[in-house]
Amino acid sequence: MNTVLNASRRANDLAYLAQNPDDIDLIVIGGGITGAGIALDAASRGLNTVLLERRDLGFGTSRWSSKLAHGGLRYLTKLEVGIALHSAKERGLLMEHNAPHLVRALPQVALLGADTNLLQKVAMRLGFIAGDMLRIAAGTSSKVLPHSRYATKKEALQLCPTAATEKLRGAWVNYDGQMVDDARIVTAVARTAAGEGARILTYTEVTHADGNAVEVQDVLGGTSFRIRARAVINATGVWAGTVDQNIRVRPSRGTHIVVDAKKLGNPKGALTVPLPGSISRYVFLLPQQFGRVFIGLTDEDTPGPIPDVPPTPEEDIDFILNAINVGLDIKLRRSDVIGAFTGLRPLIDTGQGGSTADLSRRHSTIEADNGLISIVGGKYTEFRLMAEEAIDEVLKRKGLRAGPCRTAKLPYVGAPNHPESLHTEPDELAGLPETLVQRFGYEAPKVVQSAGIEHPLENVAGLDITRAEIAYAVSHEGAIQVEDVLDRRTRIGLVQSDRDAAEPEVADIVEQVLRNLEEY
C-alpha cells in the first residue's frame, strides 16, 4: 500500500499511461471531493482507476465549504427526509470509521434571548430534537455526537463569549460534525485511493471526453495524450457543463468572512443566528484553526461564466455582518473582516426558477449520448454515498465487473484503523503539537520523521503550523506548487497578511523538497 502522492509518483503514473493507454477501467475527471470519493470507491473494488484534475486537489468548490460534516437537519424543513437521513448516516461514518481524526463534534449554540422571536426559539428546539432523532436513526453513538440540550446563560457565554446578552436566559445546544478542514479531507481521500492503486494526476487537463476515452494535456510538461477506458465519469461539479454541454448547472454562491477569534473572545461553540423572519435559514459563527472564525453563509443565484476562484461581492460581506451582529454584543465592522471566501454550489438546473436556497441538494447521474457519465449536484457530506451510487451505475450501464463497495467503514490515511497507522503507538503522539495531531492523526509522527529539513517543529510565520507540515504537503500529499500548499494543503492563504508573511519560507521549503525528490 503506497499512499504517497508527489511529483515523482506523478511522473511514474504519466509514464505508465503513455505505455498502457488502453489498460484502464475507469477515468474520473475532477479532483474535488466527489471525484476523489469516486476514485476511492472504484479502486477499492479492484478497478484500474485514473483521476485527472486540471489544477490541484480540492481546487474548486470542495475547499470553500463551512467545514461542517452536516447531519442534514436543514433538509427536514424542506421535507427532504431522504437527504437528511443520508447526510446523518454519512456524517456518522466519517466520525466513527472513515476520518475520526478529521471530523469532531462541534457544539452549535442557539441563544434564547432578544435576538429571536418565540416562533424561532420553538422551531430551533424542535429542529434540534429532530436532529437527535436523525442521529439515532443513523446509528451514531452519543459518545461521538452528544444529544442536544439546554445550556445556562453562563455556559452559553463560555461557548460564545460575545453573544448578545439582552434578555438572555440560556441557549439550546446541538452538536454537528466539524471538519478540521474540507480540503484536507479531499487530500486524505485521494491518498487513500492511491493506496488502493488509483493513479491521482493533478495538473492534467481533459480537453475532450466521451464514454470511452479522453484527450489530456499535461499542464506542467506541455505534452498531450489520449487514454482509453471502459468508462469515464465527469465529476467536475460546477464545471460539469464544460465537459458535457448538455448539462445545465445552476451555481449558488456561498460566501464566508474570516475574523480574528480574539475579537470574539475565542469562541468554542458555533453561534447560530436565524435570519430575520426565517425558521429555516441561519448564519453561523464557526471557530477554526489558526485562531480564526468563519462566519457565513449566503445562498445566492450566480449565473454566467464559472471563474476558477469566485470573487466575494461586498454586498455578501455586508449581509453576513448585519445578520451575525443581531446575535452579538460586540458588533463587528467591515474593518474586522481579515479575509473572505466564496464557493459555488453545483445545483442541478431544473428550469423551474425560484431561489437557489429552495433548490434540492439531490444528486443525479446522467449519461450523455456519447456514453460519458456525469454526476451532478449533491452535498459534501454525502460524497461517499454519491461515489458508491455512481460506481454502481457505471457497473450496470457499462457491463463492468468489480467487487462490492468497501468504503462505508474504510479508514482514510491518518485514521486509527488505517493499515499505515497500525505502526504508530498512541504514546508517539504525545509531545507533538496538538494542532499537528489534529490535522494528521496517527500520521503525525511520520510527518516530523520524514521532513528532511531543518527545524521541522518550528512554526511558520507565527501560525500554529510547522515547517514539517509544509514539507509533508510536497513529499506525501501531492502539492507541486507553492499555491497548492498555501491555499489547499494548509489554509494560510485565506488571510492575505498570513499569506504574505508565510510565502517566502513556504516557497523555500517547497523548492528544497522538490529538489530532494528529483535527486532521489
What would the pLDDT profile of 388-404 be if each residue is shown by its tens digit? 999 999 999 999 999 99
| CATH architecture, domain defined by 98-180+249-348 | 2-Layer Sandwich (3.30)
Backbone torsions φ then ψ of 345, nearest 5 degrees: -75, 135
Res. 297 pLDDT band, cuts 50 70 90? confident
Q: 359 pLDDT exceeds 70? A: no
Is the dihedral angle over the CA atoms 408, 94, 186, 368 positive or is it negative?
Answer: positive
Q: 205 pLDDT exceeds 50? A: yes
Collapsed DSSP state (helix, strand, coil) of residue 292: strand
Least confident of 62-76, 245-259, 491-505: 62-76
Backbone torsions φ then ψ of 213, nearest 5 degrees: -165, 160
Identify the pLDDT of residue 166. 93
Q: Which CATH number fits domain 424-519: 3.40.1000, 1.10.10, 1.10.8, 2.40.420?
A: 1.10.8
Which residue type is seen at 192?
T
Q: What is the three-state SS of 177-200?
A: EEECCHHHHHHHHHHHHHHCCCEE
Give the DSSP letter of residue 294.
E
Pair 110, 56: CB distance under 8 Å: no
Q: 476 pLDDT exceeds 80? A: yes
Identify the pLDDT of residue 121. 77
Q: How many other C-beta atoms are found inside a 10 Å radius of the C-beta of residue 511?
A: 12
What would the pLDDT profile of 302-332 be if each residue is shown by its tens digit? 988 999 999 999 999 999 999 999 999 999 9
Grid coordinates in use for 388?
458508491
Identify the pLDDT of residue 389. 94
Identify the pLDDT of residue 30. 98
How far from 389 is each of 42, 62, 186, 278, 393, CA to CA, in Å?
11, 19, 19, 34, 6
Q: 355 pLDDT exceeds 60? A: no
d(CA 26, CA 445): 35
Percent of the chain with pLDDT over 70: 95
Pair 452, 476: CB distance under 8 Å: no
pLDDT (mean) for 175-200:
97
pLDDT (mean) for 57-63:
97
Please tell me whether the peptide bond between 297 and the residue prior to it is cis, using omega within 30 degrees of 0. Answer: yes
Identify the pLDDT of residue 279. 66
The more confident residue out of 364 and 330 is 330
Q: 358 pLDDT exceeds 50? A: no
Identify the pLDDT of residue 278. 72
Identify the pLDDT of residue 357. 44
Q: Which residues pair with 232 in a beta bridge?
A: 27
What would the pLDDT profile of 138-174 be if each residue is shown by its tens digit? 999 999 999 999 999 999 999 999 999 999 999 999 9
Give the DSSP letter of residue 420.
G
Res. 125 pLDDT band, cuts 50 70 90? confident
Q: 425 pLDDT exceeds 90? A: no
Percent of the chain with pLDDT over 90: 79
How far from 302 is each of 37, 74, 247, 309, 343, CA to CA, in Å?
26, 22, 16, 13, 10
pLDDT (mean) for 319-348:
95
Q: 377 pLDDT exceeds 50? A: yes
The CA-CA-CA angle for residues 59, 340, 489, to 5°, reads 35
Q: 273 pLDDT exceeds 80? A: yes
Spell out the domain ranges in the chain. 7-62+183-246+359-409, 98-180+249-348, 424-519
The more confident residue out of 475 and 275 is 475
Q: What is the CATH number of domain 7-62+183-246+359-409?
A: 3.50.50.60
DSSP one-letter string for 4-58 = -BSHHHHHHHHHHHHH-TT-EEEEEE--SHHHHHHHHHHHHTT--EEEEESS-TT
Identify the pLDDT of residue 502. 98
Q: 74 pLDDT exceeds 80? A: no
Please return the burial class of 79, using the count of CB atoms within 10 Å of its CB with bins 0-12, 13-18 and 19+: exposed
Identify the pLDDT of residue 351. 55
